[in-house]
Amino acid sequence: MNLLITGAWPNAKAHISQIEAMGHSVMFLQMEKDELPCAPEWVEGVICNGLFLHHPITMFPNLRFIQLTSAGFDRVDMEYVRAHGIEIRNARGVYSIPMAEFAVSGVLQLYKQARFFHDNQRAHVWEKHRGLRELYGKEVTVIGCGSVGTECAKRFRAFGCGITGIDIMPRKDEAFDRMLPFEKLDEVLPSTDVMILTVPLTAETVHLFNKRRLGLLPHDAIVVNISRGKVVDEAALTDLLKEDCLAGAVLDVFENEPPQPDSPLWDAPNLIITPHNSFVGEGNVARLNRIIMDHQHFWKCDR
């Protein structure tokens, strides 16, 4: 197979000789936005992240295999992939552990008033806060029960939370107390203390959480979005936070990244903003290496 490998795989260069020894021809492109190191017609397989944002997939007439270094498929024209019978794999499970830990961390920061104590420490102020909350006994709803959602469920369960999953294909899973179809979402939200969004971005999930649906949550609920920014109507979320209709939110992803300096998000009360950083963890490289070099996920596609 003629493989184009990009720098989106951080450890790629350490594996190229091994890949070539298996009979594959390799070209390497460090920055996906740069000029291709080969003719598009040469490429039969790619290992990449956002390559097709800069080089349209239609440029590659002989493409038959894609290995993504991301968990999401939203940077690829999936209609084209399906229409042309291209096999595609994602980086399922690579980033789930740090993202789940991030979700727990964000909720705990809000529950335990981390910002209050941080500000007081910087100001050398000794002041107690009587409004700290417990995770124990809270109802957590995970929207999207793939690898990331399941890892979130495991960790919140360890705190003694009740866990409800909402997924397009409900199943029995010991990480969840129950898993329901999307048709039940509105029924679950009024009893949700913590809502974790790990749902993929599709045409159906754009602004899945608009003002009406966010308004179904209790006033003391926390929203955590570690999926894609467009899943949430940010203007509606900001309004609800300002109106004290939600206890807080943790956003690692945004409709436009980065938010503009004058975006009202920056000053919304009880909102934690991080720069699409929840996926970062020191174990990612090893997990990504295993997925890419796994015979079941890659080499058998050379048919």
| Confidence class for position 213, pLDDT limits 50, 70, 90 | very high
- CA-to-CA separations, 22 to 26, 119, 218, 286, 293, in angstroms, rounded: 11, 56, 56, 21, 11
> What pLDDT, in 10s, does the model give residues 234-263?
999 999 999 999 999 999 999 999 999 999
How many beta carbons lie within 10 A of that of residue 86, not counting itself?
18
Amino acid at 179: M
Asked if the model's pLDDT at residue 43 lies above 90, the reply is yes
> Does 70 fall in a domain?
yes
295 a catalytic residue = no
Q: Are 117 and 223 members of one domain? A: yes
Give percent of the chain with pLDDT exceeding 70: 97
Q: Are 235 and 103 members of one domain? A: yes
> Does 299 fall in a domain?
no
Asked if the model's pLDDT at residue 301 lies above 60, the reply is no
Q: Are 124 and 202 members of one domain? A: yes
Q: What share of the chain is helix, strand, coil (3-state, %, to 5)?
A: 35, 15, 50
More confident residue, 298 or 113: 113
- The average confidence (pLDDT) of the chain is 95
- The CA-CA-CA angle for residues 238, 244, 249, to 5°, reads 50
Q: Are 84 and 149 members of one domain? A: no
> Does 180 fall in a domain?
yes
242: Cβ–Cβ under 8 A, 6 or more apart, which residues?
Answer: 268, 269
> Does 282 fall in a domain?
no
276 a catalytic residue = yes
The catalytically annotated residue of 79, 127, 174, 257 is 257
Asked if the model's pLDDT at residue 297 lies above 70, the reply is no
Q: Are 22 and 40 members of one domain? A: yes
The whole-number average pLDDT for the span 164-183 is: 97
Q: Are 198 and 57 members of one domain? A: no
Q: Are 175 and 198 members of one domain? A: yes
> Does 208 fall in a domain?
yes
Quick one: which H or E segment has residue 3?
strand 2-6
> Does 37 fall in a domain?
yes
Query: Which CATH number covers residue 65?
Result: 3.40.50.720
The catalytically annotated residue of 133, 276, 287, 297 is 276
Q: Are 110 and 141 members of one domain? A: yes
> Does 264 fall in a domain?
yes
pLDDT of residue 300: 54
C-alpha closest to that of 2 among 44, 33, 59:
44
pLDDT of residue 29: 98
pLDDT of residue 303: 47
> What pLDDT, in 10s, does the model give residues 96-146?
999 999 999 999 999 999 999 999 999 999 999 999 999 999 999 999 999
Q: Are 86 and 100 members of one domain? A: no
More confident residue, 170 or 293: 170
| Residues linked to residue 212 through DSSP beta bridges, in sequence order | none
Rounded to two decimals, the pTM is: 0.90
Q: Are 63 and 111 members of one domain? A: no
Round to whole Å and give the CA distance between 245 and 259: 23
DSSP track, 208-221: SB-HHHHTTS-TT-
pLDDT of residue 108: 98
pLDDT of residue 114: 98
More confident residue, 147 or 74: 147
**What's the domain count of the chain?**
2
- CA-to-CA separations, 99 to 52, 225, 227, in angstroms, rounded: 25, 10, 10
257 a catalytic residue = yes
Q: Are 212 and 116 members of one domain? A: yes
Q: Are 72 and 135 members of one domain? A: no
Round to whole Å and give the CA distance between 295 and 211: 46
> What pLDDT, in 10s, does the model give residues 10-26?
999 999 999 999 999 99
C-beta separation of 180 from 155 below 8 A: no
Round to whole Å and give the CA distance between 28 and 264: 41
Domain range enclosing 267:
96-273
The catalytically annotated residue of 139, 151, 228, 234 is 228
> Does 218 fall in a domain?
yes
Quick one: which H or E segment has residue 150?
helix 147-158
Asked if the model's pLDDT at residue 216 lies above 90, the reply is yes
The whole-number average pLDDT for the span 215-229 is: 97
Query: Which has the minimum average pLDDT: 82-86, 103-107, 198-202?
Result: 198-202
